[in-house]
Structure 1
Amino acid sequence: MSTLSPLKRLWRLLKLYKPEIRQIYTYAVFIGVVNLSLPLGIQAIINFLQTGQLSSSWFILVIVVLLGIAVAGVLQVLQLRLVENIQQDIFARSAFEFAFRFPKMKAKEVDSIHAPELANRFFDTLTIQKGLPKILIDLSVSTFQILFGLLLLSVYSLYFIGMGLVMILILYVLVKVTGKIGLDTSLEESKYKYRLAHWLEEIGRARRTFQINDPSSFHLRKTDSITADYIHGRESHFKVLMDQFKSFVGFKILIAAGILVVGGLLVFNQQMNIGQFVAAEIVIILIINSVEKLLQVWDSVYDVLTAFDKIGFVTDLELEQRKGQEVISPNSDCSLTLKKATFKHKDALEPVFSDLDLVIPAKARAVLNSETGSGKSTLLQVIAGVQDLESGDVLLNDISYNVLSRKSLHQQLGVVFASNQIFNATIRENILVGREVSEKELLQVLRDLDLEDYIKGLPQGLETIMDSGGRRTPRCVIQKIHLARAICHCPGLLLMEDPLVNVPTGEKVKLIQYLTDEKRPWTLMVISDDQEWLKRSTMTVKL
């Protein structure tokens, strides 16, 4: 897994938007320069007023100052437009990044992780969206404002140059000393935030369990424990922010005191006139306001860097890297071979199975019938290409999975896992999952699985929306939908894990006869202890 720091992740993202960011910074430079027209213009206006006469030059100066304010406002609007474009693109990019990665993550990478919880990290995209305008606009404008302000003051007197260098050094030391501590405490706070969100999801998922056992208040005690950890983490982060705030307040006082004292002495010594002194005061106000903006931005910087770290946890998970080019002809019979196959879970001490040799001939009806824990389900996942072998090989029609195209493999596969794979979409979408199957073929499959009458009884038929996990749908119907999904495209290899456990006995016998009928085009492997499967099988596999 990659170990990129949050700061490097930020730079990597910003590189994608170099042209837009270049424009934003260009506008920031112009805004900084234009804002200097205010103190310079006022200085010139005061000098004219001291003459005691109104002239056309005075009016022109007033108009120039107002134009400067207007131009700065227009440039800020253009900055906002550019940042909004970046925000929208980041949201879309992140959405597709998550959607693309979830199905392609290596199974061993997510075996010890609750994958749905990872989706919570998508919301950090919104944190990045909210924080970027402050970083790209406020941070850049404030920085240039301080630099240009100090440069302008240095024009009035050489004393201001030294003051400016000292102030920049102090600001750098403050950021350098407290920056890493603030980021560490922000990451710690975020860790407990996600832990609490995960626990609340668990309460929602298993709410009936907690409802029945409510007198124990276990869920509340655990919530209290995680919340206490979060508050402790947040308090630690707040203390860092408070220290930074106090330092910035002291920094502002130092700026104001230094410039007021030096400016006042210069006026008394007649090295600076009143107009210049007033202009210097306006510059001081601009610099102080810029420092305050930097302080407000700094908390957003922590939030954005923390968000990159949390999203990075998902984007760093290793994906399947299979780039095989070999294909299997559509509608061809499929034979399966395992050679010296060994599988071990990540961080496990012992393999689930090792040196396994197995041959399943084309059109076989094989039943995996072994003791619990022998690795039947894992074997099915390996054959389905979900899990990778530690060593050995799997061959479909004598073509190794290492060189077989993933697309070709998936076209040949029909899979029914024991876990509920119903998602929030229509019945049609749950069955087809984007595949192209004619209406006639789909209706025939529904008819063969005795689903036609049930679906006809629904007001919207195949367009009825199913709840996530198939809530409010009978379990036997859910299992039939899983079957329909597995066989609607006439697979060459059908892999099933206890596919009919919730189907009534009469229907079960009929469906087993249908699935094992020699007229069906697939090679069948099923995990089951049911005698009807064993009776209809052509071979039995024991691990």
Structure 2
Amino acid sequence: LQARESHFNVLVRQYSLMVVFKVIVATGLLAIGGILVMEQLMNIGQFIAAEIIILMVMSSVEKLILSLETIYDVLTALEKVGQVTDLELEVDEGENLESHCADCGLKVELKDVFFTYPTKKERVLNGINLKIEPNEKVAITGRNSSGKSTLLHVISGFYDVEEGHIAYGGFSKGNINLNSLRSVIGGSLNQEVLFERTVLDNISIGRMNAGLENVQWALENVGLTEFVKSMPKGLNSEIEPMGKGLPRSVIQKLLLARSIAGKPKLLLIEDSLEHLDSEDRNRIAGFLFDSKRPWTLVMISTDKGILEMADRTIELEKGKVLEMKKSKKQ
């Protein structure tokens, strides 16, 4: 918004200067031409001809200046294209995590991890050391701005760490095929949205193994089976962008169904149960934290009931691990 406002101010300044310039030139021509005609150094015909030529030149200059906006837009577009083409391509090689322990969760290790957002100076993560065992169900808690969401995004592979080391299943992130890493991670993060396609497409997107059977399994476990059956075309019913017209609780459940439909080895959940009523929240949380589920779970929550379901609770403060607690159920 600030950039657009600055751009608009530049255009206003250009147009204002152009108007002032035209007024000054026209006034000067009339004054000089009038004096020359009165002193009989120029006749009326010559004066009119000179006026016409100068006005034509001014009109051409004005068109050139007005076209500068288009030229600037072209240069800006070329710069953006250049930024995209300069990005490094992902290397499609490395360890394949899909074949790693078919029926167990993914082990995650973080060692001395530091992270800073490009637009900020302060570090968000400050030397995180964390080991999450296969099939372990972990809850991350803490105050606002403690680094919970950033930690989850770093674990998901969205962000590259500034310093430190991350390993999945015993393999360093740099040695893993990124496509295989993404295929074994299921996430319900705050950036996740519904798009304008069918219910089936919204749940199975990006999951090669999320077939019809798995989609129905996911819907059943988030409590949406009957709701989808009541829709005009069932799984083939169209959803509006951002889930417009759907209750917030249904949107949350659809996003949760998307995260588990591929039966991931690592499941990352970010505050995805907050808009559900207590009965649905406890039922779905119980399903996600069930030790029989073949995934490693990392969930952000401040709900005491959910924290008690976890095998371990990790509390963050100012980007550091403040405390780790084993669950009382163990």
For the aligned pair, the TM-score class normalised by the smaller chain equals 0.7 to 0.9
Matched, 1:529 2:302: yes
Aligned residue in 2 for 1:232 = 12
- Taking a change above 3 Å as real, the CA distance of residues 305 and 492 of structure 1, as seen in their structure-2 partners, is same
Matched, 1:396 2:168: yes
Q: For 2:276, which of 486, 491, 503 is the aligned residue?
A: 503
- Taking a change above 3 Å as real, the CA distance of residues 239 and 321 of structure 1, as seen in their structure-2 partners, is farther
Q: For 2:180, which of 408, 417, 425 is the aligned residue?
A: 408
Q: For 1:310, which of 56, 76, 82 is the aligned residue?
A: 76
Aligned residue in 1 for 2:91 = 323
Alignment of 1:460-539 (within 5 A): 460-539=233-312
Aligned residue in 2 for 1:359 = 131
Q: For 1:426, which of 182, 198, 201 is the aligned residue?
A: 198
Letter in structure 2 aligned against 1:345: Y
- Taking a change above 3 Å as real, the CA distance of residues 241 and 506 of structure 1, as seen in their structure-2 partners, is farther
Secondary structure of the corresponding residue to residue 252 of structure 2 = helix
Secondary structure of the corresponding residue to residue 98 of structure 2 = coil
User: Structure 1 residue 473: deviation in Å?
Assistant: 1.0
Aligned residue in 2 for 1:542 = 315
- Taking a change above 3 Å as real, the CA distance of residues 300 and 405 of structure 1, as seen in their structure-2 partners, is farther
Deviations 1:31-61 (A, max 9, x none): xxxxxxxxxxxxxxxxxxxxxxxxxxxxxxx
Letter in structure 2 aligned against 1:489: G
Matched, 1:386 2:158: yes
Q: For 2:213, which of 440, 448, 458 is the aligned residue?
A: 440
Contact 1:324/1:403 (<8 A) preserved: no
Alignment of 1:16-35 (within 5 A): none
- Taking a change above 3 Å as real, the CA distance of residues 302 and 463 of structure 1, as seen in their structure-2 partners, is farther
Deviations 1:474-514 (A, max 9, x none): 11111111111111111110011111101111111111111
* Same amino acid, percent of matched pairs: 27
Alignment of 1:223-372 (within 5 A): 229=9, 232-235=12-15, 302-312=68-78, 314-315=80-81, 316=83, 319=87, 321-323=89-91, 325-326=93-94, 327-330=96-99, 331=102, 333-372=105-144
Higher Cα radius of gyration: 1
TM-score, normalisation: structure 2:
0.74
Contact 1:241/1:299 (<8 A) preserved: no
Q: For 2:222, which of 449, 458, 463 is the aligned residue?
A: 449
- Taking a change above 3 Å as real, the CA distance of residues 306 and 465 of structure 1, as seen in their structure-2 partners, is farther
Identify the structure with bigger relative contact order (alpha carbons < 8 Å, sequence gap 6+).
Answer: 2
For 2:168 and 2:313, how far apart are their aligned partners in 1?
19
- Taking a change above 3 Å as real, the CA distance of residues 313 and 428 of structure 1, as seen in their structure-2 partners, is farther
Deviations 1:45-90 (A, max 9, x none): xxxxxxxxxxxxxxxxxxxxxxxxxxxxxxxxxxxxxxxxxxxxxx
- Taking a change above 3 Å as real, the CA distance of residues 428 and 230 of structure 1, as seen in their structure-2 partners, is farther
Contact 1:324/1:404 (<8 A) preserved: no
Secondary structure of the corresponding residue to residue 143 of structure 2 = coil
Runs of 5+ in structure 2 lacking a partner? 27-56, 317-330
For 1:527 and 1:241, how far apart are their aligned partners in 2?
62
Alignment of 1:148-167 (within 5 A): none
Aligned residue in 2 for 1:280 = none
Secondary structure of the corresponding residue to residue 341 of structure 1 = strand
For 2:20 and 2:179, how far apart are their aligned partners in 1?
52
For 2:163 and 2:299, how far apart are their aligned partners in 1?
24
Letter in structure 1 aligned against 2:216: L
Contact 2:204/2:211 (<8 A) preserved: no
TM-score, normalisation: structure 1:
0.46
For 2:314 and 2:92, how far apart are their aligned partners in 1?
29
Contact 2:113/2:129 (<8 A) preserved: yes
Contact 1:428/1:463 (<8 A) preserved: yes
For 1:347 and 1:475, how far apart are their aligned partners in 2?
31
For 2:255 and 2:13, how far apart are their aligned partners in 1?
45
User: Structure 1 residue 296: deviation in Å?
Assistant: 10
Letter in structure 2 aligned against 1:323: V
Letter in structure 1 aligned against 2:93: Q
Aligned residue in 2 for 1:127 = none
For 1:371 and 1:384, how far apart are their aligned partners in 2?
21
Contact 1:366/1:540 (<8 A) preserved: yes
- Taking a change above 3 Å as real, the CA distance of residues 241 and 435 of structure 1, as seen in their structure-2 partners, is farther
How large is the Cα RMSD of the aligned pairs? 3.2
Deviations 1:78-131 (A, max 9, x none): xxxxxxxxxxxxxxxxxxxxxxxxxxxxxxxxxxxxxxx9xxxxxxxxxxxxxx
- Taking a change above 3 Å as real, the CA distance of residues 233 and 521 of structure 1, as seen in their structure-2 partners, is farther
- Taking a change above 3 Å as real, the CA distance of residues 457 and 405 of structure 1, as seen in their structure-2 partners, is same
- Taking a change above 3 Å as real, the CA distance of residues 464 and 241 of structure 1, as seen in their structure-2 partners, is farther
For 1:377 and 1:516, how far apart are their aligned partners in 2?
19
For 1:495 and 1:404, how far apart are their aligned partners in 2?
19
User: Structure 1 residue 403: deviation in Å?
Assistant: 2.3
Letter in structure 1 aligned against 2:132: I
Letter in structure 1 aligned against 2:159: Q
Contact 1:322/1:402 (<8 A) preserved: no
User: Structure 1 residue 461: deviation in Å?
Assistant: 2.3
Contact 2:186/2:266 (<8 A) preserved: yes
Q: Aligned residues, how many? A: 278
Matched, 1:373 2:145: yes
Hey, which of these two has a bigger chunk of helix by percent?
A: 1
Contact 2:190/2:270 (<8 A) preserved: yes
Letter in structure 2 aligned against 1:415: G
- Taking a change above 3 Å as real, the CA distance of residues 342 and 296 of structure 1, as seen in their structure-2 partners, is same
Alignment of 1:42-191 (within 5 A): none
For 2:294 and 2:126, how far apart are their aligned partners in 1?
31
Runs of 5+ in structure 1 lacking a partner? 1-116, 118-190, 197-225, 247-290
Aligned residue in 2 for 1:61 = none
